[in-house]
Amino acid sequence: MHPQQLIPGCIVTKRVSGKTKHPIIDKHTVITEEHIEVLKHFNIDSVEVSEKLASGSLFTPKKVTEHTSQQKVQRKSPASFETLYTNAVSGYKEMFQKWQGGSPIDIYQVRKMMMPLFDYVKDISLDLFLLHKFASKEDYFYHHGVSIALLSAHLAKKLGYQKDWIQVGIAAILADSGMAKLSENWLMKESRLTIAEYEEIKKHPTLSYRMVEEIPYVTRDMKLAILQHHERIDGSGYPIGSKDEKIHPFAKIIAVSDTYHAMTSERVYRRKQSPFKVIEEMLKLKYQKFDYPVLQKFIDTLMNYTIGTRVMLSTGKEAYIIFVDSNRPTRPMVRLMDSDEIIKLDEKQAIFIEKIITD
């Protein structure tokens, strides 16, 4: 049966496995609404079930019709992206506080919270420049979790992970779940971490892994991504110091998204940086810290602006982009609005684009 044909009470007669053969639902499991949602998110095409329900009555499959699909589209939330994003940040904060109190991760609730936002990644071209604008100093950590989930899912989709991109996004929002097991002091701290505090923070990928280790709906790929999202190509990362080929592709995606959002966001102890400046800094480390094809795809997606785009320069002056060199996308040629002077940013290293003007 297709998952959409199932109803609560169906009995699974053959174990359901994902793309990596990791069991999603074991044999003899009695299906619930939660199971049906999980099967949908894992893009499972068929499930073998008993002719009888757990109650003993005969199982009558649901009919999947075009009308049903249309109704599903009509029920889709009409909420704006910003509203959905704000709700997700609040939901993540509430979840995290429960984890701090010792509650386990409810993967179904995590998916339910993020899927409306992932629909934006799926249905429209997500403007990656917008995410850091939503973040606040006080709740940076929670904004960060939701944003890297979106950035990672978006990047995975652009890289061709047509079936697994949602898994990458879910892994990203769970990557920092282990922070809930550390002292709360780091969350409220208004200054940079000390060396001792940083060493403590470096334990969080392992703690995050332990929090998801026994969750059957979290695949092995996702678990490795969570464990390795702070590993770096040259082996300088943590918690193990894994190098290039030992790092899971999902983790390489999250590493790029995580670094970009952290550097472009306003934080209590540090001002946000220009996305263009951040990309330049990341490019300097393209062969040491990040997987270059992943970083390049991220940049290609991020720098997808057009001739005529209005920008604010680091000098405080507004300008229009008039030419973009694909080899130096962060340093296009611009024309100042107040004087029509043309500036080749590639030749003026002291000047950079501060932000895209969208008003």
pLDDT per residue over 310-337, tens digit each? 889 999 999 988 888 877 888 989 999 8
Q: Which of 184, 187, 126, 188 is nearest to 157 (CA)?
A: 126
CB atoms under 10 Å from CB of 221, counted, come to 20
Give the C-alpha separation, 167 to 161, whole Å: 10
Task: Tell me how far apart the terminal alpha carbons of the chain are, to the nearest angstrom.
Answer: 50
Residue partners of 264: CB distance under 8 A and separation at least 6? 132, 272, 273, 274, 275, 278
Listed as ranges, residues in the chain with pLDDT below 70 are 18-23, 41-43, 64-79, 122-130, 188-190, 267-270, 304-306, 358-359
Alpha-carbon distances of 270 from 99, 262, 299, rounded to whole Å: 27, 10, 24
CATH code for residues 79-302? 1.10.3210.10
Type and span of the H or E element at 198: helix 195-201
CB atoms under 10 Å from CB of 102, counted, come to 8
This model's pTM is above 0.75: yes
The bridge status of strand 318-323 relative to strand 333-336 is antiparallel
DSSP 146-184: HHHHHHHHHHHHHTT-TTTHHHHHHHHHHTTGGGGGS-T
What pLDDT sits at residue 19? 57
What pLDDT sits at residue 71? 41
Residue with tokens 């299906």: 31
Looking at beta carbons, which pairs linking 159-164 to residues 24 or more positions away fall under 8 Å?
Answer: 159/253, 159/294, 159/297, 163/19, 163/43, 164/19, 164/221, 164/250
Backbone angles phi, psi at 52, to 5 degrees: -115, 150
Backbone angles phi, psi at 123, to 5 degrees: -95, -25
What pLDDT sits at residue 72? 42
